[in-house]
């Protein structure tokens, strides 16, 4: 059984590998994203030394590392699942002797592995050469960061699975998927670190799963969160991962009861 799941990882990894050329353009596009935000933050900082607890230097590193983490954890599981549901192939997959959700997670992981090795890692090198980025020197911090972006991947994929499963309940979840994408980018801290939000908003955001995707690993990597707070951040991520299993299971149970295929 496990080996079947491992095969799903392998197959997706190899499929992605076949299209690797696309991801070279991806590195260029991510470098542009980082560049645009780098200059935007430079304009925002102006002469200020420190904003929202980030120095200008930390901010540059934060922008770069959070985009690169996004290069790794990003996937289109929401779209894949909603396509499966809308064209009815989910019905066939349900009859197979493995869990549909697990298969999707494994495929997402295969894609993530590809993105980590061929997108994030070379992208990080390129970006470090272009922008004044301060990388941490402590190897333990690097290890923790790797664990943290692993949780980023898990939580982001869980949110994607939930968004995709909404296709069972509304016939067209295109708008929902688009909304989810901007919500995750904004509230996870890719475009603005949570600390920049006004007090009440950042207080609210601390109780949402999004900050666990980008803000926490990015803050640890740049050293804005240090000491024992690092372990708390890790704990928050683990807690969200566990907490999000329940709604997915519930949605899946409800969905199986109401599946109707639209003209499949």
User: What 3 state SS string does 84-141 have?
Assistant: HHHCCHHHHHHCCCCCHHHHHHHHHHHHHHHHHHHHHHHHHHHHHHHCCCCCCCCHHH
Instruction: Identify any residues that bridge with 194 across adjacent strands, giving them in sequence order.
Output: none
Query: Is position 229 an interface residue for other proteins (rule: CB under 8 A)?
Result: no
Q: Hey, how many other C-beta atoms are within 10 angstroms of the C-beta on 5?
A: 17
Q: How far is the CB of 25 from other proteins (least distance, A)?
A: 6
The residue within the footprint of other proteins, chosen from 4, 7, 125, 174 (CB under 8 A), is 174
103, 163 Cβ separation under 8 angstroms:
no
- Region from 44-52, 150-158, 234-242, 249-257 binding other proteins, contact rule CB under 8 A: 44-52
Q: How far is the CB of 208 from other proteins (least distance, A)?
A: 14
Query: Is position 131 an interface residue for other proteins (rule: CB under 8 A)?
Result: no
Sequence-distant contacts of 207-211: CB under 8 A, at least 24 apart: 209/155, 209/159, 209/240, 209/243, 209/244, 210/159, 210/183, 210/184, 211/187
Q: How far is the CB of 192 from other proteins (least distance, A)?
A: 5
d(CA 216, CA 237): 8
Q: How far is the CB of 98 from other proteins (least distance, A)?
A: 24
The residue within the footprint of other proteins, chosen from 56, 88, 147, 181 (CB under 8 A), is 181
Site for other proteins in 60-79 (CB under 8 A): 76
Q: Which is nearer to other proteins, 91 or 192 (CB)?
A: 192
Q: Hey, how many other C-beta atoms are within 10 angstroms of the C-beta on 88?
A: 14
The residue within the footprint of other proteins, chosen from 5, 10, 51, 252 (CB under 8 A), is 51
Footprint of other proteins on this chain (CB under 8 A)? 18-19, 22-23, 25-26, 29-30, 32-33, 35-36, 39-40, 42-46, 48, 51-52, 76, 83, 87, 170-176, 178-179, 181-183, 185-186, 191-192, 196-198
């Amino acid at each position: 059984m496990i080996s079947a799941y491992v095969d799903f990882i392998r197959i997706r990894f190899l499929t992605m590998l076949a299209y690797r050329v696309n991801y070279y353009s991806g590195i260029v596009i991510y470098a542009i994203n980082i560049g645009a935000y780098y200059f935007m933050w430079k304009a925002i900082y102006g002469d200020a030394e420190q904003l929202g607890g980030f120095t200008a230097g930390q901010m540059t590193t934060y922008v770069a590392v959070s985009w690169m983490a996004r290069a790794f954890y990003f996937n289109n599981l929401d779209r894949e699942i909603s396509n499966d549901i809308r064209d009815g192939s989910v019905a066939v997959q349900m009859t197979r002797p493995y869990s549909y959700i697990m298969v999707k997670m494994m495929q997402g992981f295969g894609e993530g592995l590809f993105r980590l090795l061929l997108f994030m890692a070379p992208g990080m090198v390129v970006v470090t050469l272009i922008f004044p980025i301060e990388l941490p020197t402590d190897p333990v911090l690097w290890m923790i960061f790797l664990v943290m972006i692993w949780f980023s991947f898990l939580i982001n994929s869980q949110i994607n699975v939930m968004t995709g499963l909404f296709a069972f309940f509304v016939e067209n979840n295109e708008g929902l998927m688009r909304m989810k994408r901007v919500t995750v980018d904004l509230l996870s801290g890719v475009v603005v670190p949570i600390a920049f939000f006004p007090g009440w908003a950042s207080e609210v955001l601390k109780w949402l799963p999004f900050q666990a995707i980008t803000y926490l690993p990015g803050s640890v990597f740049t050293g804005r969160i240090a000491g024992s707070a690092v372990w708390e951040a890790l704990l928050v991520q683990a807690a969200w991962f566990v907490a999000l299993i329940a709604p997915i299971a519930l949605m899946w149970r409800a969905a199986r009861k109401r599946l109707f295929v639209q003209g499949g």
